[in-house]
Amino acid sequence: MERRDFLKATAAMSMAALTFNKLSAAIHTNQIMVESAPDMVAVMGGEPVQLLQRALKEMGGIGKYVKKGQTVVIKPNIGWDKKPEFAANTNPDLIGELVKQCIQAGAKKVTVFDHTCDNWQKCYQNSGIEKAAKEAGATVLPGNDEVYYKNVTLSKGLKLKATKIHQALLEADVWFNVPVLKNHGGAKMSIAMKNYMGIVWDRGYFHSNDLQQCIADSCTWSKKPVLNIIDAYRCMRKNGPQGRSVSDTSLLKTIIVSPNIVAADTAAIGLFNQVEKMDIKEVGHIAHGEKLKLGTQQIDQLTVKRIKL
């Protein structure tokens, strides 16, 4: 089963030209070819730590994003009381490695949190993320109480004009958005843009006031993640966002990294389509995000580096 999924995904990365079209732009300086920094990196075929290490290297190294003395927040998806093999949450090894790299870059403090859907202690424990993050040197905070959240204005939002965002993010110098790639019953897909719902307090407002537009509106918050790191090591292809069994997942062994949140989600859906069909038009928050100038769906206009380990 897993080998078949891997072969499917390998073929997908070769065939999905729109999604992973390698347009390595270059300039000539003194007759030496210098490749420009990519807008997106997609790495496939390794384990979570290998995938992240290579992706960050290709994006310019962790030191490009984290400076000595900075406070860093890492926001995974830890929403569900599920073991890692269900792909309901971000892979814990990926989070542990990102924490290590931030600390090695000189971060003063690294914090990991999520506003979970299930009991937060059980989510943190059974996802494996709490253990991995703490062992790597991070502080793990809960997001289960309104006291942790502060009001912010979203001046560019159409439906969501203001919300409460977790104080750890408000105080951070930089943050990383690290979702898992999965199907979602309400939003259709849960990837980087949807992961913002774990930084706010009142998610009920989203569901009663145009979910797709509110997701896009939340991403207009002025403090953008320095990188969106999409965990597609194992994706949940159906029955999301929790999944019913491991058979709902596919092993893709892939990571997609970009500061462009709309492009990252677009690329991730292109990959997802190789194991389960999903019309990107159904994932309305992506088009809404493009209209709000949060990024582009035109992957073929970006410099994308595709690597197979």
CATH of the domain at 291: 3.40.50.11440
Residue 233, SS3? strand
Tally of domains in the chain: 1
Q: Which residues pair with 256 in a beta bridge?
A: 42, 230
Residue 153, SS3? strand
Share of the chain above pLDDT 70, in %: 88
Domain span holding position 106:
2-308
Mean pLDDT computed over 32-54: 87
Q: What is the mean pLDDT of the chain?
A: 91
- Looking at residue 4, what is its pLDDT? 52
* CA–CA dist 43, 8 (Å, integer): 15
pLDDT at position 145 over 70: yes
* CA–CA dist 176, 178 (Å, integer): 6
Answering whether pTM is above 0.85, one says: yes
- Token digits of residue 23: 């347009």
Helix (H) / strand (E) element for 111: namely strand 109-112
CB contact burial 267-284 (16+ within 10 A = b; e otherwise):
bbbbbbbbbeebebeebb
From the CB of residue 181, how many other CB atoms can be counted at a distance below 10 Å? 30
Share of the chain above pLDDT 90, in %: 88
| pLDDT tens track for 81-134 | 999 999 999 999 999 999 999 999 999 999 999 999 999 999 999 999 999 999
Residue 66, SS3? coil
- Token digits of residue 64: 């490009």
Asked whether 190 and 212 are in contact (CB, 8 A), the reply is: no
Mean pLDDT computed over 8-32: 41
pLDDT interval class at 37 (50, 70, 90): confident
Nearest to 262, CA basis, from 196, 174, 211 = 196
Burial of 70 (0-12, 13-18, 19+ CB in 10 A): middle
